[in-house]
Amino acid sequence: MDAVTPVQEKATLSEVENAKQAVTTVSHYAPFSDEEKALDRRVNLKFDFILLLILAIGFILLGIDKTNVGFVATSTFIEDANLHPNDIPNSLSLFSATYVPLQPISSMIGRWVGPKWWVCTLMLVWGAMCIAHIGVNNTSTFLALRLLLGVGEAGFTPTAFYYMSLFYPKFSLGFRMGLFSGMYSVAGAFAGVLAYGLLHLESSVLKGWQTVFLFEGTLTVLLALIGLFALPTTPGTAWFLTAEERAHAMKRMRLDDAHAGTDPEDETKITLRDVKDAFTDWRKLLIIVFNILSVLPVTAFTTFLPLVVEGMGYEGIRATLMAVPPFVAGTVGLIIIVYSSDRLKERSLHTVFGMALGLIGCIVMATSYDEKVRYGFAHVCLTGVFVGGPLIAVWLTSNTPDKSVRSIILGINGWSNLAGVIAGQIFKSSYAPSYRTPLIITMALIAVGMGGFCAMRGLYMWENRRRRKIILAWDEQEYAAEQARTDRRGDKKLTWVYAY
C-alpha cells in the first residue's frame, strides 16, 4: 500500500504544506480524468451486480424470515403446533432479546473471521432455524427457535454495512447503503404475497405453514451457498474484476482514507483497544442515540401504518392495500435523498431533511380532521423517514477509518433497533382509530433527533476548525511528531477531517 510519511524519516516542507491544505477537506477518493471515471463506474457496476445484489437479497430474506410467523398465525399453525395465541407476540419479544443486544458482538466476529464468511454463516444459521420451524409442536420449542433465529439474524445488517465499506469509497457508499436499506420495504410487501401463496400449498406431507417455513428457509440457505462462492473477500481478490479493475479498486480505497494511514486489505485484526476506542467515542455514541429517534417512525409505521390508515376511513383488507402506496413513496424518497447525499458529499442535513418530511407528515396526520389530507401526508411522512438508517450508518463509517473500530461502531449502531421496542409501547390499541397521541409523541421524538443531529454537525465543524488552527502553525518537526504518535490513530489524528 501507499505508505504515510515513515516514522524514521523527517517530514519535508512540501508534506507539511500538503497536510495544511488537506485538513480543509474530507479525505475521499474522486476520479479525475474521463477515462478514470469510466473505469470507476465499471468497477462500481460489477460490485453492484455481485456484492450489493447478494447482500440486498439477503436483507429481503432476513425481513421475510423474521416476519413470516405473523403470516402463518392466520392459518392452522397455532392449533397444529399446540401453541397459545399469546405465544406469537411473546415470540417477537424473545426474538428481540437476542437480536438487539448481540448486534455489536456479531459485528466484531464478522471483522475477525472476515465479513464475507460471516454474512454467509449468519444466513446459513437463520435459514436453518427457519426450516426447523416445520417441526414445532409445543410452546417451548417454538420460543427456543425464535431466540435462535434472533441469534442468527443479529449482526447481519451492520456486518453487511461494514462489508460494503471495504469496497465502495465513502461518497459512493451512501447510495448503495440506501438501496440495501430500501429492501426492507420490499421485504414487507413481498413477504405477505409469498406467504399467501405458500399457505395454499397443502399436501399429505406438509401443512401450508410448514411449506412457508421450508421454502423461505431453503431460499436463505441457497443464497448463503451462492454467497460463499460468489462474494469477494477483498477488492484485490474480486474474481469478476480484470487486473486493471482490481488495481483501481484497491487504489481508490487507499486514497479514500489517505490521512488515516490504514490498510484497506487488513480486515481481520481486532483488539481490546479497538473495543475501548469504539465505546469511548462519545460523539459517535450520541449519533447512535439520536439514530434511535431517526428510525423510530420507520419501525412504527412498518408495523402500525395499516392500523393508522384504517382510522382514516379505510376498512379491512382495503386498509392494508392503501398502506402500500406510502411505502412506495418512502422507497422513492430514500433513493433520491441518499443519491443527493453522495453527490453533495453531505450526511447530517440530508438526514435532518428526511426527518423534517416525517415531522411534517406526522403533524398533519395528528392535527387534521380531513381523512384524505391525513392519508396524503402519510406519503409525505414516509418519503423522508427511511433515510436515517443508511445515512447515519455511512456517516459513522466515513468518520471511522480504522476498520476494527468501524465494525464495532456499526455493531453498536445496531442497537438503534430499540426503536421497535419504543414504538410498540407508543402505538397502543387504546389510541385507535386516530392514533393522534402516538403521532404527537412520535413528532416530539423526531424533533429531538433532528436537534441532536444538528448539534453533532456543529460539534464536528468546531473540531475541524480547531484542528485546522493547530496544523496551520506546524513546522516539519511537529508534523513528523504527529505522524509518529501511537496514542492517536484513525480519526483521532489531527490531520483527519470529520465528515458531516
Topology (CATH level 3) of domain 32-250: Growth Hormone; Chain: A; (1.20.1250)
DSSP string, 318-334: HHHHHTHHHHHHHHHHH
Is the predicted pLDDT of residue 19 greater than 70, yes or no? no
Q: How far apart are CA 409 and CA 286, in angstroms?
A: 12
What number is the average pLDDT over the span 465-474?
A: 87
Is the predicted pLDDT of residue 63 greater than 90, yes or no? no
What cell does 159 get? 456486518
Tell me the pLDDT band of 2, cut-offs 50, 70 and 90: very low
DSSP string, 385-404: HTTHHHHHHHHHHHT--SHH
What cell does 296 get? 423510530
Is the predicted pLDDT of residue 408 greater than 90, yes or no? yes
- Among 386, 389, 368, 374, CA closest to 327: 386
Which carries the bigger pLDDT value, residue 37 or residue 85?
A: 37
pLDDT of res. 18: 59
Contacts 24+ apart (CB under 8 A), 234-241: 234/166, 234/264, 234/265, 234/267, 235/166, 235/167, 235/264, 236/265, 238/46, 238/47, 238/50, 240/46, 240/50, 241/43, 241/46
DSSP string, 44-56: HHHHIIIIIHHHH
Which three-class secondary structure state does DSSP give residue 226?
helix
pLDDT of res. 44: 94
Q: What angle do CA 309, 312, 316 make, to 5 degrees?
A: 60
221-277: pLDDT as tens digits = 999 999 999 999 999 999 999 999 999 999 998 888 765 555 545 556 788 899 999
Lowest mean pLDDT, pick from 318-322, 423-427, 472-476: 318-322
Q: How far apart are CA 77 and CA 207, in angstroms?
A: 9
User: pTM higher than 0.75, yes or no?
Assistant: yes
pLDDT of res. 302: 76
176-226: pLDDT as tens digits = 999 998 887 777 667 767 777 888 888 878 888 899 899 999 999 999 999
Domain ranges of the chain: 32-250, 272-500
Lowest mean pLDDT, pick from 3-12, 66-75, 146-155, 374-383: 3-12
152-184: pLDDT as tens digits = 999 999 999 999 999 999 889 999 999 998 887
pLDDT of res. 5: 35
Looking at residue 416, what DSSP letter applies? G
* Alpha-helix runs per DSSP H in 231-323: 243-256, 272-279, 282-310, 316-322
Topology (CATH level 3) of domain 272-500: Growth Hormone; Chain: A; (1.20.1250)
- Cell 454474512 -> residue: 119
Q: Do domains 32-250 and 272-500 have the same CATH topology?
A: yes
Helices and strands (H, E) in the chain, number of each type: 23, 0
